[in-house]
Amino acid sequence: MNAGDVTAILPLAATWGLAFLVILVDVIVPGRDRLASGIATLGALVVMGITAAVATQVPQQAFGGAYVLDQLTVLLDLLFLSIAVLTLLYAPDYLRPRRLPLAEFSATLLFAISGAMLVSAARDLLVLFLGLELLVLPGYLLAGFAKRDGLSTEGAIKYFLLGSFSSAVFLFGLAYVWGVTGTTNVSGVSSALQAVAAGHPLSPGLAMGLAFLMSGVAFKVAAVPFHYWTPDAYQGSPTPVTGYLSVGPKVAAFALILRLFVGALAPVKADWVAAVVILAALTMTLGNLVALTQTNVKRMLAYSSIAHTGYILVGLAAYAGAAPGSEAEARGLQGILIYAVAYTFMNLGAFAVVAALQRRPGVTSDLQTFAGLGRRAPLAGLLMTLFLISLTGIPPTAGFFAKAYVILAAIQAGGIVAWLAVLAVLNAAAAAFYYLRVVVYMYMREAPEAAPPVARGFELQAGLAIAAVATIVIGLFPNSLIAIAEAAAKALL
């Protein structure tokens, strides 16, 4: 390990260090929850600063090319750390009234984030798998964090069982790919497949491997029909955890897709594009259709997050469907990244409002809880409206711009993928119905007597402000985000 290696792994190492520091603080001064979570939040901000600082010295490699710090890693790391910061800001107002330990939560979350960061930097199949497991194991803990709550435990167990199963399927697929190509190095796999792809049909082994990898990844991003664990895990988890689960592991799984499918399996992309197109179409449509019938906002957001997975998959389909080296290929990848960023802020924002409403233990996330919010807490109502409008995809918000971007990529890719664009907007129209139903409750129904109070802690307000500003700024001035996404996509191609 040399000096260059140190710079390359600095963001990741700093995150690990921070997680251990939080544990240490909790051990030395037990019971000082606020201190621990404050350290975690500020620390994550510092790590973001470090990441931005090393961003000027990319690309760098470490550990013989198994780990790489390039523009993509930087973008994704910053995104993961933002997720951590926002989740840490939203958590206290929800966890403290329920007497759930904030310090443990912060440390667990940071470990999960470090796993996601490892995925975003991995250039080796085994490191990818390692990062993936480091990401999901703390995720199971977080899902079952309210351990005396039956729903939380049930959701965590479902999440754990299907999660481990899908990890096994994924590992199985990796083994096949290793068997066919004889290497676990991403660029090695890519060049080995280049030879395979030259005109021959896929060997049975590689076909099996692709199928297993695709299924494993589909589980992780919660694509239909591999989504069954999502609603229960999401509804049962404590709300800030649900917010995290709906973005963190999902974006990380897309990072995995970028590193694995785009990085290593690109030469045979003609063989997996059809699967992505079908997955995208199914995921968008089913996610939205089922979300239409939900009366619990958390569950509704869970299904809608499935639908958003579908929109991101449209970006992947655009990449896979485009001719190698074409502009549409890069556009699709940029679409994935831009959508992931926009989705992170708007979805976390929406979950933060839900969490704020559930300040008092026992308050459900039923639609009824939102009745009259526009009058009870005008600002919370306004922000929720903003996030829902963005999730629907109405300008001038981040959600609109992201959707327009993937649609443009799909049109550019042409062929069958272009029709995904039409399907995507029809889905967006259907989604408007259930998103705006929340607005109906907030503004067009009166609050019940003795409506529970809405949390307005400082951290929560700061977090909501960040999410709201990001949602608007990305919608109105997306130029710098496009530039960053272009650089990141270029690093990958």
Partner 1 sequence: MLPLVSLTIFTPLVGALLIAFVPRDRPQLTRWVAFATTLVTLGWSLVMLAGFSTSASGFQFTEDVPWIPFFGIRYQVGVDGISLILIVLTTLLTAISVLASFRPIQDRVKEYMITFLVLEIGMVGVFAALDLFLFYVFWEVVLVPMYLIIGIWGGANRIYATIKFMLYTLVGSLLMLVGILATAFEYHASTGVWSFAYQDLAGFHFSPALQVFAFVTFFLAFAIKVPMFPFHTWLPDAHVEAPTAGSVILAGVLLKLGGYGFIRYSLPLYPDAAHTFAPAIIALSVIAIIYGAVVAVVQPDFKKLVAYSSVSHMGFVTLGIFVFQSQAMQGAVFQMVNHGLITGALFLCVGVIYERTHDRRFANLGGLAGRLPLYATTLGFFMLASAGLPGLSGFVGEFLVLIGTFAVAPLVAGIAAIVMVLGATYLFYMFQQVVFVDLSDFLKGLGDHLHDMAPIEIATLVPLAALVLLLGLFPAPVLDMIQGPVSGVLDHVSHGVALGFLP
From the list 31-39, 142-150, 310-318, 386-394, the region that binds partner 1 by CB under 8 A is 386-394
Distance CA 144, CA 34 (A): 21
Give 157 or 482: the residue with its C-beta nearer to partner 1.
482
Whole-angstrom CA distances from 53 to 24, 58, 122, 397 are 27, 10, 20, 29
Alpha helices by DSSP H, listed for 122-200, are: 125-143, 150-181, 186-197
From the list 75-83, 151-159, 181-189, 430-438, the region that binds partner 1 by CB under 8 A is 430-438
- Residue 479 CB, nearest approach to partner 1 (Å): 6
How many helices and strands (H and E) does the chain possess?
19, 2
**328 in Cβ contact with 409 (< 8 Å):** yes
- Residue 425 CB, nearest approach to partner 1 (Å): 4
Does residue 319 belong to the site contacting partner 1 (CB under 8 A)? no
**Site map for partner 1, 332-371, x if CB under 8 A?**
----------------------------------------
**Angular region, 449: left φ>0, alpha ψ -120 to 50, beta rest:** beta
Does residue 482 belong to the site contacting partner 1 (CB under 8 A)? yes
The interface with partner 1 within residues 392-421 (CB under 8 A) comprises: 393-396, 400, 404, 407-408, 411-412, 418, 421
Q: Can the peptide bond before residue 448 be classed as cis, meaning omega within 30 degrees of 0? A: no
From the list 104-112, 149-157, 308-316, 478-486, the region that binds partner 1 by CB under 8 A is 478-486
The residue among 389, 404, 407, 290 whose CA lies nearest residue 349 is 389
262: which 2 tokens?
């785009």
The residue among 28, 199, 15 whose CA lies nearest residue 120 is 15
> Across-strand partners of 67?
62, 122
354: which 2 tokens?
């839900």
Give 395 or 457: the residue with its C-beta nearer to partner 1.
395
- Please give the backbone phi and psi of residue 5, each rounded to the nearest 5 degrees, phi first: -60, -40
- Give how many residues touch partner 1 by CB under 8 A: 34
- Residue 325 CB, nearest approach to partner 1 (Å): 16
- Residue 144 CB, nearest approach to partner 1 (Å): 38
- Residue 55 CB, nearest approach to partner 1 (Å): 20
**74 in Cβ contact with 51 (< 8 Å):** yes
From the list 131-139, 267-275, 315-323, 425-433, the region that binds partner 1 by CB under 8 A is 425-433
- Residue 412 CB, nearest approach to partner 1 (Å): 6
From the list 15-23, 305-313, 360-368, 391-399, the region that binds partner 1 by CB under 8 A is 391-399
Does residue 429 belong to the site contacting partner 1 (CB under 8 A)? yes
Does residue 126 belong to the site contacting partner 1 (CB under 8 A)? no
Give 260 or 313: the residue with its C-beta nearer to partner 1.
313
In the block, which residue shows the tokens 């910053």?
78
Among 151, 161, 426, 469, indicate the residue that binds partner 1 (CB under 8 A). 426
Does residue 185 belong to the site contacting partner 1 (CB under 8 A)? no
- Residue 404 CB, nearest approach to partner 1 (Å): 6
Give 418 or 462: the residue with its C-beta nearer to partner 1.
418
**Site map for partner 1, 165-184, x if CB under 8 A?**
--------------------
- Residue 476 CB, nearest approach to partner 1 (Å): 9
3-state helix, strand, coil in the chain (%, to 5): 80, 0, 15
Among 165, 228, 433, 458, indicate the residue that binds partner 1 (CB under 8 A). 433
- Residue 331 CB, nearest approach to partner 1 (Å): 10
Q: What is the DSSP letter of 57?
A: G
Q: What is the DSSP letter of 326?
A: -
- Max Cα-Cα span within the chain: 70
Does residue 452 belong to the site contacting partner 1 (CB under 8 A)? no
Among 53, 440, 465, 469, indicate the residue that binds partner 1 (CB under 8 A). 440
Distance CA 115, CA 130 (A): 8
The residue among 209, 218, 196 whose CA lies nearest residue 275 is 218
Give 43 or 335: the residue with its C-beta nearer to partner 1.
335
Rounded to 5 degrees, what angle do the CA atoms 47, 87, 102 make? 95
* CB count in 10 Å sphere of residue 16: 18
Distance CA 280, CA 284 (A): 6
Does residue 436 belong to the site contacting partner 1 (CB under 8 A)? yes
Residues in the site for partner 1, rule: CB under 8 A? 374-375, 378, 389, 393-396, 400, 404, 407-408, 411-412, 418, 421-422, 425-426, 428-429, 432-433, 436-437, 439-440, 443-444, 478-479, 482-483, 486
